[in-house]
A and B are shown apart, each in its own frame.
Chain A
Amino acid sequence: MTPAANKSLRPGSFFYFIIPVEENMDSDSPTLWELRSVTKEFPGVRALDDVSLTIKTGEIHALVGENGSGKSTLAKCLAGVHQPKSGQLLYKGEPVELFHPFDAREHGVATIYQEFSLVPTLSVAENIFLGRQLNRPMKVGLDWDEMRRRTSTILDQLAIKIDPDAVVRSLSVAEQQLIEIAKAMSIDSTLLIMDEPTAALGLLETQRLQELIRRLAGQGKAILYISHRLDEIFQIADRVTVLKDGRCVGSNPISELGMNDVIRMMIGLEISQHYPKEVNVTPETCLEVTNISTGTGVEDVSVEIRVGEVFGLGGMVGAGRTEIALALFGFDQLTRGEIRLYGKPVHFSSPSDAIRAGVGLVPENRKEDGLFFNFEGPPNITMSRLEFLVRGGFLSLSKEEQAGREYVRKLNITPSALERSVQYLSGGNQQKVVIARWLFSQAKLLIFDEPTQGVDIGAKIEVYNVINELTSQGISVLLISSDYPELLAMSDRIAVVRDGRVLHISDAEKLTEHRLLSIASGAELNHQVKYQAGSIL
């Protein structure tokens, strides 16, 4: 569930905080890969805009940027998944074109994605040699002895102590991660692209992985390390490239940069936009969440939302904000903790319970989770509370038409929504239809998960106005947004989430984008730990 890049839809002008790229005078290791003025577009959005960077052999090169900055697009260009619209990719100084991941593989590029590509029911050796099993010399059949031997060799080289015959399913996530790397290494790769490698790892395993990466770099491999975790990057990287809105705003040796510089490059300096924020908080409590944990990664979260408040959840993608929302909506079950709505303890075993209690959810992915494309007109609005339409035991279609007209008017939705399927509506109108659903269902607490993602500026303002309207009527809002200026402007208080935990709660006006990003990316954490424990390294 990653947000779309919406840089083309923001008003106001930007400054980019750019640190000039230094030619690395003292590095004599040869350049392995170079991107020159690479541009990549998707319909409606420019994911990469004239990006240039170099990756040298034996270099641990970190790639950072906010959500939607183009990091994964860049990685996919190197992996042969996407082809640049303009610009060049150079391998060892020679221009190459990678039309297919296979081409990338031929040039020694191996990618380790967040979702593993191992077959759980096969053994380690079988996985490593998947698709390229060795035949026995002079005989019919596969040479498992040799494959096992070679697997052991690779694992030893990487100091991974795992049995080649172990079934992958029996290994821990961290160990599977290591096998993925071993697999990439066995294909004789020279560039290893790692996308959020430590997302599933604990502290010890992360350290182990970092040692492995350093060893690989020592052997001359280049690593492109994509991560949100600035603390880790500062522990391990040689060089950092920062992307923002598809542009490269800096590519420098880590020794020349401080964490704050990187953060500043990621955010840019913005002329603040005017958000139409109304404060309607009352001292009454709407929602009280105490020490909740779920099986989906929410850990010991406690939060209190007041009536009429806009409570923001900030954090990196994958931090667990949506998981918290889904727990509040009855989609996921609590393993621990308690939820109280208006003082009464509640237990939601399904979204139906939550909806009946007055909770609503505008999901992040409205096409997949929010909208029905097979209906025409009002049903999308009335779906969550069909019981409101019942007259004499049957659904009153005229009542439904009425409700449809009412909310189309209230939210200024284009009138054709009443007659056609939502598939013909713009993103902004579609979003408003989903919001209308929760107004119709008389929600008291409305959770917005990335509400203005992929939405034009006019509709964005309308969403903000709706939020104001809701809070003025005593409805509370839980706002999840990766658009930090939006989050900071529209929330009354903000909780920063990382790894399923709430790290920090404060009034929105006391937070800056810088500080938010700091906490969310672990920079602040690292800062503290460093002072306490000397050095983790």
Chain B
Amino acid sequence: MNRIVNFFRSAIIGPLVALIIAVVIISLTTDRFLTTQNLINVSLQVSTVAIAAIGSTLVILTAGIDLSPGSAAALTTCVLAILVKNMGLPLPVGMLAVLVMGIGMGLFNGFFSTYGRIPSFVVTLATMSIFRGLAFLVTEGHPIFTVSPYLEDIFYGKLAGIPLPFLYMLVLYGITAVFLRNTRSGRAIYAVGGNESAAHLSGIHVNRTRLLAFILAGLTAAIAGVLMAARLNSGSPNYGVGLELAAIAAAVIGGASLAGGHGNIISTLLGAFTVGVVQNGLNLNAVPAAWQNITIGMIIIMAVGLDMWRGDFGRNLSRLFSFGGDKGQAPKGEQEQKEE
């Protein structure tokens, strides 16, 4: 019984339930949803957002926010196109270069948000403009088409029958999960988001940890950009608009708290799929595009709400079965008087 209660209390349950409900509802509305081809399409659709969401999750875990992934991805597609098509660099070199650029963008965001002591919201709001502005600058406003014959394979290729983007997602999520759970830096990210002061007093380098989160966010945004470019074999300063919001939505639906310290990467993946699945369902049902935004917004509210209320549900459930000899108090613990 204890294990069942613990499962209900675990962090994954909320987003998992949300996803299952979405899948069930949609498959009831159309029989074209649960086909192999369609599910593959959904995965491909979701992959770009899911990968960008990795970076967003890391930043959110440290109690920061990153609004620049969309613009960073756009800049990535443009620079990649220019390097490979216009300057004739081999594709692998071009890809490496833009990934390094991604790290650079993350460094920029991170430096000003930590040592620069400017709130990350402000910094990334600025870089949202700056990066996209640079994209327009380097392409002079025009998209660049047919970048490379090999580029499309990165998106449309398969390995043992599995679409590559799906594999990228699994690998990156796997690495991130291990990073967060089993490395010092990953643990530090949770600590800094959970209680920055206590983290500092425990010897954790707060600024360095936050900086790392932003750097990784820049990197994943660049990877998402490469995928975008590969999908359309082009680079354009107009790509990726709204990517950051989708990525943040995925993280939030996955249970990450904007206050930091709470959340896990697998739930973010579930959150990304929830959004993707719902969008797919709306498409299959030929719902006008306008409704998609409304629906996604409603899902965010319900998913986060479910997460908030689940805490109470779990607590009440455990009180019902009276587990743990210790005080089953409300989370705020004892109200200690701070009077003199």
**Complex contact A416–B324 (CB within 8 A):** yes
Which residue of chain B has its CB nearest to the CB of A420? Answer: B324
Cα A390 to Cα B197 in complex, Å, equals: 24
Cα A387 to Cα B188 in complex, Å, equals: 12
- Known pairs A44-B334, A361-B201, A414-B326; A2 contacts B339 (CB<8 A): yes
**Complex contact A426–B187 (CB within 8 A):** no
Which residue of chain B has its CB nearest to the CB of A46? Answer: B337
Cα A426 to Cα B324 in complex, Å, equals: 13
**Complex contact B203–A384 (CB within 8 A):** yes
In the complex, whether B198 has a CB less than 8 A from a CB of chain A is yes
Mark contacts of A221-261 with chain B using CB atoms, 8 A cut-off: 1 yes-contact digit, 0 otherwise.
00000000000000000000000000000000000000000
In the complex, whether A171 has a CB less than 8 A from a CB of chain B is no
**Complex contact A375–B194 (CB within 8 A):** yes
- Nearest chain B CB to A379 CB, angstrom units: 7
In the complex, whether A351 has a CB less than 8 A from a CB of chain B is yes
Which residue of chain B has its CB nearest to the CB of A246? Answer: B339
- Known pairs A47-B339, A67-B340, A369-B198; A383 contacts B334 (CB<8 A): no
Mark contacts of A351-381 with chain B using CB atoms, 8 A cut-off: 1 yes-contact digit, 0 otherwise.
1101110000101000111111111000100
Cα A363 to Cα B187 in complex, Å, equals: 21
In the complex, whether B142 has a CB less than 8 A from a CB of chain A is no
In the complex, whether B36 has a CB less than 8 A from a CB of chain A is no
**Complex contact A355–B202 (CB within 8 A):** yes
Contact partner of B326 (CB less than 8 A), chosen from A371, A375, A424, is A424
Residues of B within 8 A of A350 (CB): 200, 203, 205
Interface residues of B in 212-267 (CB under 8 A from A): 261-262
**Complex contact A2–B338 (CB within 8 A):** yes
Contact partner of A423 (CB less than 8 A), chosen from B201, B203, B205, B331, is B331
Residues of B within 8 A of A5 (CB): 337, 339
Stretch at the interface among A69-77, A92-100, A126-134, A203-211: A69-77
Number of CB contacts from chain A to chain B under 8 A: 146
In the complex, whether B102 has a CB less than 8 A from a CB of chain A is no
In the complex, whether B329 has a CB less than 8 A from a CB of chain A is yes
**Complex contact B329–A2 (CB within 8 A):** no
- Nearest chain B CB to A246 CB, angstrom units: 10
In the complex, whether B161 has a CB less than 8 A from a CB of chain A is no
Chain B residues bordering chain A, tally (CB within 8 A):
39
- Known pairs A44-B334, A424-B326, A427-B336; A372 contacts B195 (CB<8 A): yes
In the complex, whether B174 has a CB less than 8 A from a CB of chain A is no
Residues of A within 8 A of B334 (CB): 43-44, 426-427, 454
**Complex contact B203–A397 (CB within 8 A):** no
Cα A42 to Cα B327 in complex, Å, equals: 20
- Nearest chain A CB to B264 CB, angstrom units: 11
In the complex, whether A317 has a CB less than 8 A from a CB of chain B is yes
- Please indicate which of the listed interface residues A317, A383, A390, A423 has the most CB atoms of chain B within 10 Å of its own CB: A383
- Known pairs A351-B200, A397-B181; A373 contacts B195 (CB<8 A): yes
Cα A405 to Cα B46 in complex, Å, equals: 42
Cα A72 to Cα B204 in complex, Å, equals: 36
**Complex contact B337–A384 (CB within 8 A):** no
- Nearest chain A CB to B178 CB, angstrom units: 7
Contact partner of B178 (CB less than 8 A), chosen from A387, A394, A454, is A394
Interface residues of B in 317-340 (CB under 8 A from A): 324-329, 331-340
Contact partner of A383 (CB less than 8 A), chosen from B191, B261, B327, B340, is B191
Mark contacts of B183-198 with chain A using CB atoms, 8 A cut-off: 1 yes-contact digit, 0 otherwise.
1100110110111011
**Complex contact A390–B324 (CB within 8 A):** no
Interface residues of A in 34-64 (CB under 8 A from B): 42-45, 47
Contact partner of A384 (CB less than 8 A), chosen from B202, B261, B329, B339, is B202
In the complex, whether B293 has a CB less than 8 A from a CB of chain A is no
- Please indicate which of the listed interface residues A69, A354, A423 has the most CB atoms of chain B within 10 Å of its own CB: A423
In the complex, whether B35 has a CB less than 8 A from a CB of chain A is no
Cα A139 to Cα B277 in complex, Å, equals: 65
Residues of A within 8 A of B337 (CB): 4-5, 42-45, 47
In the complex, whether B37 has a CB less than 8 A from a CB of chain A is no
- Please indicate which of the listed interface residues B178, B194, B261, B331 has the most CB atoms of chain A within 10 Å of its own CB: B194
**Complex contact B194–A395 (CB within 8 A):** no
- Nearest chain A CB to B53 CB, angstrom units: 20
- Nearest chain A CB to B103 CB, angstrom units: 22
- Known pairs A45-B337, A424-B328; A352 contacts B203 (CB<8 A): yes
Residues of B within 8 A of A42 (CB): 335, 337, 339
Which residue of chain B has its CB nearest to the CB of A384? Answer: B202
**Complex contact A372–B191 (CB within 8 A):** yes
**Complex contact A368–B202 (CB within 8 A):** no
Cα A51 to Cα B338 in complex, Å, equals: 20
Residues of A within 8 A of B198 (CB): 368-372, 383
Cα A363 to Cα B200 in complex, Å, equals: 12
**Complex contact A355–B203 (CB within 8 A):** yes
**Complex contact B202–A383 (CB within 8 A):** yes
- Please indicate which of the listed interface residues B200, B329, B337, B338 has the most CB atoms of chain A within 10 Å of its own CB: B337
Contact partner of B195 (CB less than 8 A), chosen from A71, A371, A397, A426, is A371
Residues of A within 8 A of B329 (CB): 424
In the complex, whether A108 has a CB less than 8 A from a CB of chain B is no
In the complex, whether A281 has a CB less than 8 A from a CB of chain B is no
Residues of B within 8 A of A47 (CB): 337, 339
- Nearest chain B CB to A95 CB, angstrom units: 24
In the complex, whether A386 has a CB less than 8 A from a CB of chain B is yes
Residues of A within 8 A of B195 (CB): 368-369, 371-374
Mark contacts of A440-463 with chain B using CB atoms, 8 A cut-off: 1 yes-contact digit, 0 otherwise.
000000000000001000000000
Which residue of chain B has its CB nearest to the CB of A441? Answer: B203
Cα A4 to Cα B261 in complex, Å, equals: 28
- Known pairs A387-B184, A394-B182, A395-B187; A2 contacts B340 (CB<8 A): yes
- Nearest chain B CB to A431 CB, angstrom units: 12
Residues of B within 8 A of A379 (CB): 187, 191
In the complex, whether A105 has a CB less than 8 A from a CB of chain B is no
Cα A331 to Cα B204 in complex, Å, equals: 12
**Complex contact A374–B261 (CB within 8 A):** yes
Cα A423 to Cα B339 in complex, Å, equals: 21
In the complex, whether A425 has a CB less than 8 A from a CB of chain B is yes
- Nearest chain B CB to A49 CB, angstrom units: 13
Contact partner of B184 (CB less than 8 A), chosen from A67, A372, A390, A427, is A390
- Known pairs A351-B201, A375-B190, A414-B326; A4 contacts B184 (CB<8 A): no
**Complex contact A386–B333 (CB within 8 A):** no
- Known pairs A5-B339, A414-B326; A374 contacts B201 (CB<8 A): no
- Nearest chain A CB to B324 CB, angstrom units: 5
- Nearest chain A CB to B85 CB, angstrom units: 40
Cα A424 to Cα B198 in complex, Å, equals: 18
**Complex contact B203–A351 (CB within 8 A):** yes
Which residue of chain B has its CB nearest to the CB of A354? Answer: B203
Given contacts A44-B334, A372-B261, A424-B327, 17 further A-B contacts (CB under 8 A): A2-B339, A3-B340, A4-B336, A4-B339, A5-B337, A5-B339, A43-B335, A72-B339, A351-B201, A352-B204, A355-B202, A369-B198, A371-B198, A385-B203, A390-B184, A395-B183, A454-B336
**Which 10 pairs, one residue from A and one from B, show the smallest C-beta to C-beta distance?**
A374-B194, A374-B261, A352-B203, A355-B203, A42-B337, A72-B340, A383-B202, A384-B202, A394-B182, A416-B326
A and B contact pairs by CB, cutoff 8 A, 24 listed: A2-B340, A5-B337, A42-B335, A42-B337, A44-B335, A45-B339, A70-B340, A73-B340, A331-B200, A351-B201, A352-B203, A369-B201, A371-B198, A372-B190, A372-B195, A374-B261, A386-B187, A390-B184, A394-B182, A421-B331, A425-B326, A425-B327, A437-B202, A454-B336
